[in-house]
Structure formats: structure tokens, C-alpha cells
Amino acid sequence: MDHEHVREVDPAVADALENEVDRQRSTLQMIASENHVSPAVLDAQGSALTNKYAEGYPGSRYYGGCEYADEVEELAIERATELFGAEHVNVQPHSGTQANQAVYFAMLEPGDRILSLDLTHGGHLSHGHPANFTGQLYEVEQYEVDPETGYIDYEGLSDLAEEFDPDIVVSGYSAYPREIDWERIQAAADDVDAYHLADIAHITGLVAAGVHDSPVGIADFVTGSTHKTIRAGRGGIVMCDEEYADDVDSAVFPGGQGGPLMHNVAGKAVGFKEALEPEFEEYAHQVVANAKALGESLSENGFSLVSDGTDNHLVLVDLRESHPDTSGGDAEEALEEAGIVLNANTVPGETRSAFDPSGIRAGTPALTTRGFDEADCREVGDLITRVIDAPEDEAVLAEVREEVDRLCEENPLYE
Ligand code: DSN
């Protein structure tokens, strides 16, 4: 990965690109929403399809010369359909947020009501945060996790739905470590005659591999990201029943987007093909086994985990009990110095701020891609502990950095 063409034209950018590859190779990427896509997906994303405008959909475009764009988009749709079993798939959203935007734009009017999980309890900005367009265009009420268990408070959600009478209930989360009971949320939405949007952005790969229950066929709309656990080209996807297909397609284009990013659609097609291989199911199982091993290691070392563990690809650590004087930001910074990259995260019942919250979120999708197993992830749990126990001790950070180097060498990336 020497970016030779970029180097000829622009050495400054070539340096930054090469440094980024080195950074990914030599540190542990544990941001739960990140992964390392395959060289094939990278190749597709860097292809000449970046030049092509293809407003519209396969067979019905507003520009000429779209025959190969059509082929690629049809392949992406075909493979997504095989992976998820949805009646209708739109692979054009530029991101998970824009996939959500398409559903809101298709089904809601400004001022309509969204019921979603609070951001500090694991929700997402695009589910109704005041700083997001959703919080400004729609009326929003939020459910929470049970403060005792850390699991979604399904009863509270149903009660709020009765009280608030939403037009849409949003499920699917970005910092929630447990299985989601889609049927139960669907029932709560049905009871108040609301739509149900299940945003599987984080767990798209786990759902595709059958490692997490699928909301497809239960929720009215399923949105996702295509570059997180599923490790395909960067962007989003919307799935729905045929009855909503035209509304969703029009909401994506021309409603919310112009020309689709066809190079990314190509990356999606290639990544979906990879996800149909049996190895991907093994990968997804390993992601979860690794997150469990990481969580067990951290628990044994005295950390408090939201919901006491995990069923998926991430663990959410609440530092307040074990390390009351260390914020999530302090931990993130010290860990990065030691070569472990993750993010500070709010936790349920947050008492600090969104900018410097009380928790850290750690995911295993990227580590698993480069070959980490449960023993490696237990060791990573010990390394994280050593750093957070002594975040200002340069000697400890240097020792951990050496262990990180060894783990990276044992599990090479982009050779
Ligand atoms: N930025 C993603 C995450 O980290 O969860 C969500 O958009």
C-alpha cells in the first residue's frame, strides 16, 4: 500500500495516507464502529466509478453511460437481499445517518413524533438528538435502559409509547452491548400504530451472519451501516417491505441525496460477496467470542461493565466505581499513547459531560479481522487495565506499548 500515484502528485497527502496505514497496522483499533476492510473492498472504493454520476436506480438513470454502474448496484442489491432476506433494499445512502434520514423523510412530516433511546444510554445522534436535524425537525421523546440492569427498559418503552403516541419508534443502538428484542419493540410500536425503524448500524455484520437476531421481517424499516461489523464499502443501506419501496427510494434520491457514490456502492457489493462466504460467519462468531473474553478480563480486573457483559461486538465500561478520578477522556488519551485506540463514551446515568464522559467503549471487530482470538483479547483486557490503573505513568505506558507492538506483529494487517 504505497499510494505511488498519489505520491507522484502530492507527497504530503501520500505521507498522511501511508502514516494512516502504519497507524492501523501498529496500534489496536478498538473503536467499536470501525473495522479493516479487505484489499478487494479498498480496490473497489478506489476505482474509476468515483467518476460516474448515476442519479436514479439501475435501468432508470438520469445520465448515460450507466451500464456498469447498473451492474454493480444490481450486484450489491442482490447480495444484500441474500444476506438479509429483505423484500426491498436500497444501497445508495452515503451513511447510516442518511439511511435513517431517508426513512424519516419517507414516512414522517416535520413535527411528527419520534420515540428513541437516549444518546447517553446508547442511542445515536440521528435518532433525535437536539443538535441533529432529527431533534430540530421532529418532536422527540426518549426511553432508557434499566438503571439496575443496563438492559433496555422494554416496559418503560411501552409505557412511554402509550403516553407520547409516537409516529415512529426507533430501535438499534451505537453503545448497547446486548441482544435486542425486536419483537417486543415492534409490539410496542404496533400498540400505538407507529412505524418501527430498527437501525442495525453497529451489528449489520452480526445480523448478516446470523449471530444476532435479525429485525428484517419484524420492523417496518431496517437501516444499517455497511463498513462496521459487516466490513464492506463505506456507507449505509435501507431495507423494507415492497409496500414502502417507492417511498424509500424517492426519499434517498432525489429526496436527500444527489448522485450515489458508485465507488462506495462497488465496495458494498464486494464486501457483501465476502460476507456471503462461510468464513464470514466464523468471523462474526469470533467477534462476539472476543468481546466476551475482553469483557470477562476487564470484569475480573475490577471494572464495572454496563449490563455486566456483552452479547455482541462491544463492551461499555463505566469507570465511576473502579476509577472515580479517571474520566473516559483521560482513559482514552492514556490508552492511545500506549497504542490502544478506543473512545470515551457516555454511560447510562452519566454524571460528567458528553465531552469528557465517565465511560469507554471498546469493540472487537477490527482486532478480529486481523486475527485476534479470545486469549489475545483477554491479554488486551489486562493491558487496558494496566494503563487505566496508572494513566500518567510513562513507564507503564511504554511497557504496554511494547506488548501492543508484539500483538500487532503476531497479527499482521495489510501485508
Ligand atoms: N460514529 C459511529 C459510532 O462510533 O458509533 C456512529 O455513527
Burial zone of 402 (CB within 10 Å; 0-12 exposed, 13-18 middle, 19+ buried): exposed
Ligand 1 pocket test, candidate residues 202, 341, 345, most atoms within 8 A of CB: 202
The predicted-structure confidence for 301-359, as pLDDT tens digits, reads as follows 999 999 999 999 999 999 999 999 999 999 999 999 999 999 999 999 999 998 899 99
Q: Which atom of ligand 1 is nearest to the CA of 175?
A: 5
pLDDT at 2: 84
DSSP label at 211?
S
Identify the residue whose C-alpha is closest to ligand 1 atom 4: 33
Does the structure show a pLDDT above 90 at 136?
yes
pLDDT value at position 1?
81
| Dihedral pair phi/psi, residue 63, rounded to 5° | -130, 155
Pocket test for ligand 1, best of 94, 101, 119, 174 (most atoms within 8 A of CB): 174
| Residue-range domains of the chain with CATH | 43-275 (3.40.640.10), 280-410 (3.90.1150.10)
Which residue's C-alpha cell is 443501506?
237
Query: Which residues define the annotated binding site for (6S)-5,6,7,8-tetrahydrofolate?
Result: 119, 123-125, 242, 353-355
Residue 191 Cα to ligand 1 middle (Å): 30
Q: Please say if the pLDDT value at position 376 is more than 90.
A: yes
pLDDT for residue 110: 98
DSSP assignment string, 127-189: GT-TTSHHHHHSEEEEE-B-TTT-SB-HHHHHHHHHHH--SEEEE--SS--S---HHHHHHHH
**Atom 1 (ligand 1) nearest CA:** 33
Whole-model pTM: value is 0.97
Tell me the CA distances in angstroms from 388 to 55, 123, 159, 302, 322, one per residue in order: 50, 26, 40, 11, 10
Binding residues: 119, 123-125, 242, 353-355
- What is the rounded distance in angstroms from the CA atom of residue 129 to the CA atom of residue 127? 6
CA 123 to ligand 1 center in whole angstroms: 10
pLDDT tens for each residue of 4-58: 999 999 999 999 999 999 999 999 999 999 999 999 999 999 999 999 999 999 9
146-195 pLDDT, tens digit per residue, is 999 999 999 999 999 999 999 999 999 999 999 999 999 999 999 999 99
In the structure, which protein residues have their CB atom closer than 6 angstroms to any atom of ligand 1?
A: 33, 96, 174
- Residue with the smallest CA separation from ligand 1 atom 5 is 174
Torsion of CA 129, 132, 134, 135, to 10 degrees: 50
- One-letter amino acid at 245 equals A
Express each pLDDT in 213-241 by its tens digit: 999 999 999 999 999 999 999 999 999 99
Q: Which of 124, 223, 230, 343 has the most ligand 1 atoms within 8 A of CB, as the residue to mutate? A: 124
Predicted confidence band at 121 (pLDDT cuts at 50, 70, 90)? very high
**Region of residue 119 (left: phi > 0; alpha: psi -120 to 50; beta: else):** alpha
